[in-house]
Structure formats: C-alpha cells, structure tokens
Amino acid sequence: MTVDLSASLQQLIERELPHLGALPESVTDVRPAGDETWSPREEMGHLIDSAANNHIRFARAMMEPEFRGPPYAQNDWVSVHRYQEMPWLKIVDFWFHYNRFLLNLLAAVPEEKLLTKCYVGSGEGVTLQFLIEDYVLHMQHHIDHLLARDHVTAYPG
C-alpha cells in the first residue's frame, strides 16, 4: 500500500512538471480576481507550504503513537513567503524537488503506521493513509486549476 501512495505522488509530479514549466512567466504573477485571489505563483507556493506542513505530519505520525498538530494557516504562509516576488520556474523547481524528497519518506511508511490517528487542529481524527491520499488529491486539484484544465479534480477541502 505504501508503495502505491508514493508511486501516485511520483507519477503526479513527474507528469505535471513539464506542463507547469511551460506556463509563461508573464502570466504567473496575475491575480485573476485582484488581491482577493492567489496568482499562479502564490498558488504554486501554497503547494510548497502544503508540502512543508504535511512533511511534519507524515514524519511525526510515523514516529509517534498518534499525531496532534496545528491547522495550516494557508493565507499567512503564502503571504510571509512572498511567492509573488519569486520567479515562476524557481517556485516550480522547489515544489518538484521537495516532493521528490517526500517520496523517500512515503515509501518508508510501515503498513501498520498507515492506521496512525492524526488530529489536525480541532478536526476529527483521520488516518495517516487518509492524510497522504488527501495531500496528493489536493495537489492535483490545484495543478488542474493552475493549468486551466477543463476538468479540475474535485477536492472537498
């Protein structure tokens, strides 16, 4: 099961890297609805921040009997990292390499640890397996949106 979870992440990042890299720099700093929405740079930065937050969750859930941690203040994270000021390809490159790094962690999750209970903020407990699957689904949702695909993967969050 763990191999399947890391394989799904690997397939996603390798499949999407060329598409993301092909976006013209000139459109990546445009906020479609003004200051109330993220630009592509900020949305891609959000995926880096998501990786960082989930990295901690995944690792701690592997080391501890259960994981309890804070929620992810996504707008604050995007704001403090100032992705809007960074070159698009540097953001994409970091996203790709950070997720390649996470592949090693995910490939090493023991089968029994997939059932570890994880509590994020005041939310109901979910399993580590759910967090990993949710992470990949969340990423695909945002990439579909970034690439203006006809079909954007549904994401309940």
Question: Which domains does the chain carry?
Answer: 2-146 (1.20.120.450)
In one letter, which amino acid is 71?
P
Sign of CA dihedral 53, 55, 57, 63: negative
Judge whether residue 150 has pLDDT over 80: yes
Say which range, 20-24, 30-34, 142-146, has the weakest mean pLDDT: 30-34
Judge whether residue 1 has pLDDT over 50: no
**What pLDDT score was predicted for residue 33?**
80
DSSP single-letter state for residue 83? G
CA distances (Å), 101 to each of 12, 22, 36, 98, 129, in order?
Answer: 14, 23, 32, 5, 18
How does pLDDT run across 65-97, given as a tens digit for each residue?
999 999 999 999 999 999 999 999 999 999 999
Contact (CB, 8 A) for 121 and 70: yes
Dig out the tokens for 12 from the structure.
């996603």
User: pTM for the full model?
Assistant: 0.94
**What pLDDT score was predicted for residue 32?**
85
